[in-house]
Amino acid sequence: MLPGSDARLVREVHWEMTEPPVCWSQAAPVWHFTRIEHLSTIIDQGLLSDARAKDLGLMTVEVGNTDIKARRTCRQVPVEPGGVVADYAPFYFAPRSPMLYAIHRGNVSTYQEGCGRLLYLQTTIERLAGLALQIVLSDRNAVLDYAAFHELVPGNAPPEDFIDWEVMRARYWNNTPDEPARRERRMAECLVHGGVPWEAFTEVAASSSQVAHEARALLARHGIATPTTVRPNWYF
């Protein structure tokens, strides 16, 4: 079933696990998903921007839409610290993103292996800021030329409605006649310039106990005990 194809479900708020917050006053969790094959080098070198991960030859399985990713190498970030979107490690404000759905549906022509081996790495804005990382927010899919950007520095909180918290909390994010931008707003991003060290991450999540077990073994080999959970509700 397409998300939200039943109109009654469009407004449903249905997070059994971690609830995205309702406003900036709470520590907003953010998520990056990646293939489990990347876990070891992310532990060692941090979660890097697309540009850096490619330069260092660390990204072994490309799950993203290559056309969109090419556009991200040209899309300027109009606030400090600037550069292009591909210079930042990207996070979403909710699991079950439209990108994950495209992968699930086999709509990324260059990646047809589904979501089973994708891990979520979770952190919070508060934690990223506490590590003195440079954070930029986009109010929707950052590649869109009309996306708004906000440099997140102390004393410079974004407008309350910069992130659409309601759409973040919804299980189904399809566009409606009244709200034709729900899908792109669900793709609002927390962008971290350069990369994010492993210590930022508070949880690793997998879709199955088998993949979680594999991830725990990898973490143990690095002497790390980041909580690793099975959260099928974060997947399609």
**How far is Cα 137 from Cα 135, in angstroms, rounded to an integer?**
7
Query: What are the backbone angles phi and psi of residue 19, rounded to the nearest 5°?
Result: -90, 125
- 115 is an interface residue for ligand NAD by CB under 6 A: no
**Amino acid occupying residue 17:** M
Q: Minimum CB separation from ligand NAD for residue 90, in Å?
A: 3
> Cβ closer to ligand NAD: 10 or 147?
147
- 41 is an interface residue for ligand NAD by CB under 6 A: yes
Which listed residue (59, 136, 205, 218) binds ligand NAD by CB under 6 A?
59
> Cβ closer to ligand NAD: 42 or 212?
42
Q: How would you list the strands of the sheet with 228-230, edge to edge?
A: 149-152, 135-138, 189-193, 88-92, 29-35, 118-124, 203-206, 228-230
CB proximity list for 55: less than 8 A, separation 6 or greater: none
Which listed residue (28, 36, 63, 94) binds ligand NAD by CB under 6 A?
63
Planar angle of CA 30, 235, 38, nearest 5 degrees: 65
Which listed residue (45, 175, 226, 233) binds ligand NAD by CB under 6 A?
45
- 144 is an interface residue for ligand NAD by CB under 6 A: no
Q: Minimum CB separation from ligand NAD for residue 9, in Å?
A: 24
Residue 177's CB is within 10 A of a number of other CB atoms, namely 5
Q: Minimum CB separation from ligand NAD for residue 94, in Å?
A: 10
- 64 is an interface residue for ligand NAD by CB under 6 A: yes
> Cα separations (Å) of 121 from 46, 113, 143, 174, 215?
11, 19, 22, 25, 11
> Cβ closer to ligand NAD: 139 or 189?
189
For binding to ligand NAD (CB under 6 A), which residues are involved?
A: 32-34, 38, 41-42, 45, 47-48, 50, 53, 58-59, 63-64, 68-69, 72, 89-92, 99, 189
